[in-house]
Amino acid sequence: MTVIRNRLALAALCVLALLVIAAVFAPLLAPDDPAKQQLLARLTPPAWEGGGSLAHPLGTDQLGRDVLSRVIYGSRVSLLVGIGAALLAGVAGAVCGLFAGFRGGWPDRILMRFADIQLAFPSLLLALAIVGFLGSGLWNVVLVLGFTGWVAYARVVRSEVLSLRTRDYVTQARATGVTDLTIMRRHLLPNVLPHLATIATLHIAAAIVAEASLSYLGLGVPKDTVTWGSMLADGQLYLGTSWWVAVFPGLALMLTSLAINITGDALRDVADPKAYRR
Amino acid sequence: MTTHAPVLEIRDLHVDFRLATGPVHAVRGVSLAAHAGETLAVVGESGSGKSATMLAALRLNPEPPCVYSGGEILLDGRDLLALPEKRLREVRGNDVAMVFQDPMTSLDPLQRVGNQVAEVLRTHRGASRAGARTEAVRALDEVGIPDPELRARQYPHELSGGLRQRVMIATALVGRPRVLIADEPTTALDVTVQRQILDLIAELRARHGMAVVLVTHDLGVVAETADRVVVMNAGRVVEHGTVAEVFETPRQQYTRDLLAATPRLEPTS
Amino acid sequence: MTTAGTKTPAMRPLLELDALSKEFTGPGATRTLAVDDVTLTVEDGETLALVGESGSGKTTLTRLLLGLLDPTAGAVRFEGHDLAALSPAEMRALRAGIQVVLQDPYSSMNPRMRVTDIVAEPLVTHDVTYRGRRSRARLRERVGELLESVGLPARLQDRYPHEFSGGQRQRVSIARSLASSPRLVVLDEPTSALDVSVQSQVLDLLAELQREHGLTYVFVSHNLAVVQRIADRVAVLRRGRVVECGETAAVLGAPRHPYTRELLAAVPRPDAYRTRTGSGASGA
């Protein structure tokens, strides 16, 4: 309920809700088939510009495809990649961080050195290398972005666990004979979850942008799948003459990532069960 | 002593906290007076409003949510609640100094303790760096810290709890305040260390003729150190008088309960 | 739930600490002997107080006898079993018999768990019949009984810890420690974070529960006045060693070790104002 108190967060939530609706009901909402080419109506400007028509509210691209429909369909890939990558990285990172933090010792040292090494690589470069190796494709992109993202989760969870494990209630649980797995599940995980949610929102936004970057470079999902990134890549050639081809997918990307980040901030404020707020 | 005008006098103070859950009247009409060369103990359990009262004396409660809704805090007859923030800063640490319960959280972990003591002199007296440093070492020496030259160069985590509290007292006293407010200064310490710190405060009070306001929940500490005592409960003063008066002929049931609940070492056969 | 408790001879102390030592290796291979050759016994049904200041090793000692740390030398025996010789499964089972109440009632409870689940944790851990959705009603009933036995209404079990005062939380903590019907309860400064009026109620409650359930207490404290009230015997710790141990009246009434005398002299006395001298000599 407290999220609602914050108007900005409310606006962000509305944007996200719209996005989810767009992704789920794309076939119903899109005025046109996103792949349908109408070469006679190439680069039609948006409806409110001179020469535009209501048939293509946001105009058409260089092959005469409806931009609005493509933005709507593009949300599917963005959402899938963002949530998929965050889920994958979150689960992997949380499990690694929990074990490393709680058990300590050599598994901790190995895991954290590995994380350091991975962090030393620029993540987009790493993603490029892996996509180059695995080949492009929607699920490979999810896998790659999940893999490059797990370190952030693992580090935060580990550092939280390091402080949580000396809490009296953890000592108490150990003295009671509760098994390590149960302690992690019952006492540690619920207390790191809010932190996980915060990183996840950042990561979802970052993954959506990264997917767009990969697609922009032609290394993302296959050409016949509509994504905001590939739309941007197509549109940049026409930026001087037909700005709408690149600007609308870019706008969608920016709004989405902004909305997710704002929601993440709000989530963090709400996560405290004691809810001491003015 | 008590015939003199008090150094610090609180008159009918009201302090509210306006929280999201509704207003909390933490202090409801508290009056007390601290005289030079004397220790006034303020006794109460958690939630009695004793800490809010003491923080109010330097207007240190966070505003908002805190609102000083009534009363006066007089330092030599000047009302601190009416002073602008800038003038108030001249009072804090200079005329009135405070020592808090937890020396670990009141000291800056990233600053050498000597610098923290010297900072008071540099802000209030405009002392030179070298002058403040020598003075700081002298202050550390005065509060009984062995090898003060060496200790001044150390960080808080390198000191024991007792030494840290001595540093806090040195920080409070280096500006030669006329009022020292000590809020549960020994609660976090071991008994043997507590004894040393209480003795130190009494000795410094006698030497400099300060007024000491000692906030505590421990009636044993009150009996050991205070001249007069104020008992607080639910934001009000329920009893005040000399220590002998309050301990021997408590007028309120609350005070009697508190005295009865205080664990005491009985002489064993 | 006892682990082969059948062969325990009747005369055996419930808990034995036998030449127990614990050494920690700090950064730069510096070594500190936190517990140094401690030998103590705790008889069934008695209260042994461990008294000491910070750095005395009392925290390490309690962690050793709870089996949370492994000793560097010596042994901890509970009901005759050497804790170090038990398998992890046997150790877990034995923990039902030793419970602990910690000092800070604010950090000793998971803030995200309801009181029902906090109190039920030892129950669920040691008795499989309390697990699962179908046992929920029985579990709630048992938690309600436990809360009532520590003077709290059973209906409070649906609340979260932050809705309770310090004294109430410490009662919840005590209720939890009783859930697995232990024989030994380690009380680690259970009243030192509480207001005096609440402190004395909690001490009364502990004494009552001890009579009712025949509990054995190891009571860790720095407060000699509290120790005098509750303990049968006292062990005074200093720098990891037991400097004096004996009947409470003997140790506090006629201390033999100078450190015990120093501790006793340092306790603030509520009647001190009568004997204070020179309190008017100030301001000269």
Cβ B190–C53 below 8 Å, yes or no?
Answer: yes
Query: Dmax over Cα atoms in chain B, in whole Å?
Result: 61
pLDDT digits (tens, 9 = 90+) for C180-216: 999 999 999 998 888 888 888 999 999 999 999 999 9
**Measured between alpha carbons, how far is residue A230 from residues A12, A77, C11 in Å?**
25, 11, 83
Report pLDDT for A212.
81
Q: Is there a domain that residue A247 lies in?
A: yes
Q: Give me the residue from C264, C266, C282 closest to B205, CB to CB.
A: C282
Report pLDDT for A5.
57
pLDDT band at B3 (very low <50, low <70, confident <90, very high): low
Q: Check whether A4 has a pLDDT greater than 80.
A: no
Q: Check whether A3 has a pLDDT greater than 50.
A: no
Q: Give me the residue from C225, C264, C274 closest to B263, CB to CB.
A: C225
Q: Do A30 and A24 form a contact (C-beta atoms < 8 A)?
A: no
Q: What are phi and psi of B102, to 5 degrees?
A: -105, 100
**Interface with chain C: mutation pick from B46, B265, B266, B268, highest number of C CBs within 10 Å:** B265
Cβ B244–C284 below 8 Å, yes or no?
Answer: no
Q: Check whether C176 has a pLDDT greater than 50.
A: yes
Q: Give me the residue from A167, A187, A273 closest to C160, CB to CB.
A: A273
Cβ C54–B161 below 8 Å, yes or no?
Answer: yes
Can you give the residue ranges of every domain in chain C? 12-108+184-267
Report pLDDT for C280.
42
User: Number of A:B CB contacts under 8 A?
Assistant: 5
Q: Check whether C3 has a pLDDT greater than 70.
A: no
Q: Give me the residue from A168, A176, A190 closest to C122, CB to CB.
A: A176
- ipTM value, please give it: 0.81
Report pLDDT for C205.
94
Instruction: Produce one character per residue of B188-220: b if its CB has 16 or more CB atoms within 10 Å, e if not.
Output: bbbbbbbbbbbebbbebbbebbbbbbbbbbbbb
Mean pLDDT across chain B, nearest whole number?
A: 85
Distance CA B261, CA B257 (A): 6
pLDDT digits (tens, 9 = 90+) for B16-73: 888 877 788 888 989 999 999 899 999 988 888 888 888 888 888 777 788 888 888 8
Report pLDDT for A270.
66
Return the DSSP state at A111: H
Interface check for B21 against chain C (CB to CB < 8 A): the answer is no
3-state secondary structure (DSSP) of residue B97: strand
Interface check for B102 against chain C (CB to CB < 8 A): the answer is no
pLDDT digits (tens, 9 = 90+) for A80-108: 888 999 999 999 999 999 999 998 888 88
pLDDT band at B163 (very low <50, low <70, confident <90, very high): confident
Q: Check whether B140 has a pLDDT greater than 50.
A: yes
Distance CA B46, CA B184 (A): 12
CATH architecture for segment(s) C12-108+184-267 = 3-Layer(aba) Sandwich (3.40)
Q: Check whether C282 has a pLDDT greater than 50.
A: no
Give B18→chain A minimum CA distance, Å: 9
Question: Taking residues A4-21, what's their average pLDDT?
Answer: 84
pLDDT digits (tens, 9 = 90+) for C24-50: 887 777 888 899 999 999 999 999 999
**How large a percentage of chain C has pLDDT more than 70?**
93
Query: Among residues 147-206 of chain A, which lie with CB inside 8 Å of chain C?
Result: 167-169, 171-179, 182, 186-187, 190-191
Task: Report the range of poorest mean pLDDT among A261-270, C170-179, C239-248, C257-266.
Answer: A261-270
Residue A142 structural domain: 2-24+61-270
Which of residues C270 and C175 earns the better pLDDT score?
C175
Interface check for A276 against chain C (CB to CB < 8 A): the answer is no
Report pLDDT for A30.
83
Distance CA A228, CA B61 (A): 52
Total domains present in chain A = 1
Residues ≥6 apart with Cβ < 8 Å to B73: B8, B9, B10, B11, B13, B56, B57, B59, B79, B80, B81
The token duo for C209 is 């529960």
C166: left (phi over 0), alpha (psi -120 to 50) or beta: alpha
Report pLDDT for C5.
44
Residues ≥6 apart with Cβ < 8 Å to A113: none
Q: In what order do the strands lie in the sheet with B39-43?
A: B96-99, B179-183, B211-216, B39-43, B228-233, B236-242
Report pLDDT for C232.
96
Distance CA B228, CA B240 (A): 7
Report pLDDT for A135.
80
Tokens 């944790």 identify what position? C121
Question: Taking residues A160-175, what's their average pLDDT?
Answer: 89
pLDDT digits (tens, 9 = 90+) for A168-213: 899 889 888 898 899 999 999 988 988 888 888 888 888 888 888 8
pLDDT digits (tens, 9 = 90+) for C148-169: 999 999 999 999 998 998 889 9
Give the N- to C-terminal CA distance of chain A in Å, as an integer: 15
Amino acid, single-letter form, for residue A93: G
Beta bridge partners of B206: none
Q: Do A62 and A239 form a contact (C-beta atoms < 8 A)?
A: no
Distance CA C227, CA A24 (A): 68
Q: Do C153 and C89 form a contact (C-beta atoms < 8 A)?
A: no
Can you give the residue ranges of every domain in chain B? 108-176
Cβ C273–B257 below 8 Å, yes or no?
Answer: no
Report pLDDT for C279.
46
Q: Is there a domain that residue A49 lies in?
A: no
pLDDT band at C227 (very low <50, low <70, confident <90, very high): very high
Question: Taking residues B187-205, what's their average pLDDT?
Answer: 84
CATH of the domain at A193: 1.10.3720.10
Task: Report the range of poorest mean pLDDT among A33-37, A75-79, C79-83, C279-283.
Answer: C279-283
pLDDT band at B268 (very low <50, low <70, confident <90, very high): low
Report pLDDT for B260.
86
Mean pLDDT across chain C, nearest whole number?
A: 88
Interface check for C265 against chain B (CB to CB < 8 A): the answer is yes
Distance CA A201, CA A179 (A): 32
Chain A adjacent subunits, 3+ CB pairs under 8 A? B, C
Residues ≥6 apart with Cβ < 8 Å to B88: B58, B59, B80
Q: What's the predicted TM-score (pTM) here? A: 0.79
Which of residues A53 and C244 earns the better pLDDT score?
C244
* Gyration radius from chain C CA atoms: 20
Distance CA C169, CA A131 (A): 55
Distance CA A277, CA A270 (A): 10
Cβ C197–B258 below 8 Å, yes or no?
Answer: yes
Report pLDDT for A276.
39
Task: Report the range of poorest mean pLDDT among B7-11, C61-65, C273-277.
Answer: C273-277
Interface check for B268 against chain C (CB to CB < 8 A): the answer is yes
Q: How many CB atoms lie within 10 A of CB C25?
A: 10
Instruction: Choose the most confident range, by mean pLDDT, from A175-189, B92-106, C2-16.
Output: A175-189
The token duo for C157 is 């079990």
Report pLDDT for B17.
86
pLDDT band at C15 (very low <50, low <70, confident <90, very high): very high
Mean pLDDT across chain A, nearest whole number?
A: 84
